[in-house]
Amino acid sequence: MALIAVVGSINMDLVVTADRLPNKGETITGKDLQYLPGGKGANQAVAAAKLGADVQMFGCVGDDDLGKRLLENLADAGVETTHIRTVPGVTSGTALITVGSGDNTIVVIPGANAYVDREYIDSIKDELLRADIIMLQHEIPQETNEYVAELGEKHGKIVILDPGPARPISEALLSRVSYLTPNEHEAAVIFGTEKDPEELLKGYPGKLIISQGDKGVSLCTADGELLHFPAADVEVVDTTGAGDTMSGALGFMLARGSSLVEAVRFANYAAAFSVERYGAQTGMPAYDEVLSRFPELRN
Ligand code: RIB
């Protein structure tokens, strides 16, 4: 099994559940508040590790109680944490999440994630380059993503960029990543809304994978074939971390040598599994759990 490195954010999610999401300017009564480990980077690392991948996490936490809990949580999930930096005098990343009516809103406060900079990458470079697959997201400084993607390309690594939260990306970064996995909203921010979705996918064969929530996921293979995998029919409890589960599962499948098409098909089911449970990481499945829940995957 190839080694995966995740370079990205580590957050504590402060999750409020309510019957529905509040409207702008509205106050509603919530049901409860939970502190749950999250962060797009950490979520992807946990998703891949729970499925059975060999994963090393690179990132920063603060020297606070949340930071200790976040490191413990990653280690408990089987993620290698040796090179995560604890930044003195800084708070750990946090995310304020409201979950209601099967949907969510998220506000992220970067905290220590803002310290995942070039200097940090240089300090862990040798370790990072032991990995075969490098996974990136948009919750660390973009110049760090640019730098890591450049290193990854130079050293022949598979680089997967999940561009959430949405922000534009440079042509250089786009050309350096092996796979880009936006949702529809992120794709619109990166590529604009003028292009027909199929034309867009055809413009990046074997590279662009667009997830469309309850509609499923689409890609164009390297041979130019457009493929769409519909979402599985599931009871949605909480969609937080579904995209991260998909990315982690994609990394896991590529690490075990699957083709891109097999990897995307499996990742789509793994993400569906995760939304049936509450919390970003709590709903992430083991490999056998995905196969038992969706026996059609064995065909
Ligand atoms: O993708 C879900 C994640 O986004 C949450 O865990 C939260 O921390 C934010 O980073």
| Residue 106 belongs to some domain of the structure | no
Half-sphere exposure of 30 (CA within 13 A, CB side): 13
Structure tokens at 292: 């038992």
Q: Is 244 a catalytic residue?
A: yes
Neighbours of 23 (CB within 10 A): 8
> Does residue 283 lie in a domain region?
yes
CATH assignment at residue 176 = 3.40.1190.20
Query: Residue 28 has what pLDDT?
Result: 96
Ligand 1 pocket: which of 16, 69, 135, 139 to mutate (most atoms <8 Å of CB)?
139
Whole-number pLDDT of residue 179 = 98
Domain of residue 47, residue span: 3-10+41-59+113-292
Is the Cβ atom of 95 under 6 angstroms away from ligand 1? yes
- Per-10-residue mean pLDDT of the chain, 299 residues long, equals 97 96 95 96 98 98 98 98 98 96 92 98 98 98 98 98 96 98 96 90 97 95 97 92 97 98 98 93 96 92
Q: What pLDDT score does 194 carry? A: 84
In the block, residue with structure tokens 């110049």: 143
Ligand 1 pocket member 39 (CB < 6 A): yes
Q: Is residue 89 part of a domain?
A: no
Cα 242 to ligand 1 centre (Å): 10
pTM, 2 dp? 0.96
Return the residue whose CA atom lies nearest to atom 7 of ligand 1. Answer: 39
Residue 66 lies in a domain: no
Q: Is the CB of 139 under 6 A from ligand 1?
A: yes
Determine the Cα angle at 273 with ends 269 and 279, to 5°.
135
Could you give the number of structural domains in the chain?
1
What is the per-residue pLDDT for 103? Answer: 87
Tell whether 180 is covered by a domain.
yes
Please indicate, yes or no, if residue 21 is contained in any of the structural domains: no
Residue 17 placed within a domain: no
Say if 24 falls within a structural domain. no
